[in-house]
Amino acid sequence: MNQFSRRHFLLGGTALAAGTFVPASVWATSERTRIRIGTCMMGLEQAKQAGFDGVEVREGTTADTLEIAAPATLKRYQEQMKQTGLPITSIMMGLFNQCPLATDPRAISWMKQGIDAAKELKAQNILLAFFGKGDLLEGGVLKEAEFKAAAEKIKAVAPAAKEAGVTLAIESFLNADQLLRMLDLIGHESVGIYYDVYNTGKTKKYDSPAEIRKLKGRIAQVHYKNGSQYLDADKPHFEVVTAALKEIGYKGWITLETSSPSKNPVEDGKRNAEYVRSLFK
């Protein structure tokens, strides 16, 4: 059981003993349940129709106060979770692709707002994105100053994440060694990796299975996607990355960031989710 599985498993066990509700996002990481499949491409009602187990939501606008932090937004999501029976698994903070976490003065405030929202929604992880303007690589070379600045800012809010029972999950083009170095700089149990098997294996041409094995115990959540195609259009890739995730004992969410080739998102979502479930049987 990795550090994230253990932390959320213990949290779930404590809540059960107390007779309180244990969100599905907590039990998703315990060794008592199957891998759960979520989506970040549709809302809760549509995800329910497609047979997903949960949904990753976005933070909203890049205003000083994030949309996800607004009471009306939180209330709406809470009502939708109650109606559908699906949990919100995580919050995707993609705004850092345009407003880099390393350099934007609002970054710490935004992360704190995300942590508070995740606590209210019982979301397990917060995705911290490092792409576009926020990419920590330039021409394949690490941007050291921004790398260290990002690590310091994440370190500053990590205690608040721990208090809220939330993991800050870094998604980037960094390789496994660079990611491990960042985690060492941050030095906190509430920070991990959001691993995207397409970004690493197809965009950057890293050896994804080897990277996954190297990151054992540090992966908080995983993205599966395949560009404009169905996931099963590249079975060899997804078979080897799934085998590596099984090997390291990964028990968290697999979130599908998939397209809709047929233009029917519910049916295409069903197809992709069923394929991923077949890989983990």
Q: CATH number of the domain that 67 lies in?
A: 3.20.20.150
Let me know: does 168 contact 126? Beta carbons within 8 Å: yes
Q: Map 66-114 to HEC letters.
A: CHHHCHHHHHHHHHHHHHHCCCEEEEEEHHHHCCCCCCCCCHHHHHHHH
Give how far Cα 276 sits from Cα of 34, 57, 155, 163, 269, Å.
12, 20, 34, 33, 11
Q: What is the pTM of this model?
A: 0.89
Question: What pLDDT, on the 0 to 100 scale, is given for residue 34?
Answer: 75
- The residue among 122, 221, 109 whose CA lies nearest residue 170 is 221
Residues with Cβ within 8 Å of 188's Cβ and at least 6 positions away in sequence, in order, are 155, 158, 159, 162
- The residue among 223, 111, 97 whose CA lies nearest residue 167 is 111
- Residue 268 in tokens: 């295409």
Let me know: does 186 contact 155? Beta carbons within 8 Å: yes
Residue 204, domain extent:
3-280
Question: What pLDDT, on the 0 to 100 scale, is given for residue 138?
Answer: 97
Question: What pLDDT, on the 0 to 100 scale, is given for residue 3?
Answer: 57
DSSP class of residue 118 equals: H
- Residue 272 in tokens: 């992709």
> Between β-strands 54-58 and 88-93, what pairing exists: parallel, antiparallel or unpaired?
parallel
Question: What pLDDT, on the 0 to 100 scale, is given for residue 4?
Answer: 63
CA dist 195 and 221 (Å) reads 6
Question: What pLDDT, on the 0 to 100 scale, is given for residue 19?
Answer: 29
Domain count, the chain: 1
Let me know: does 101 contact 128? Beta carbons within 8 Å: yes
Angle, helix 176-186 to helix 144-164, in steps of 10 degrees:
60
Low-confidence spans in the chain with pLDDT less than 70: 1-33
Question: What pLDDT, on the 0 to 100 scale, is given for residue 21?
Answer: 27
Question: What pLDDT, on the 0 to 100 scale, is given for residue 177?
Answer: 98
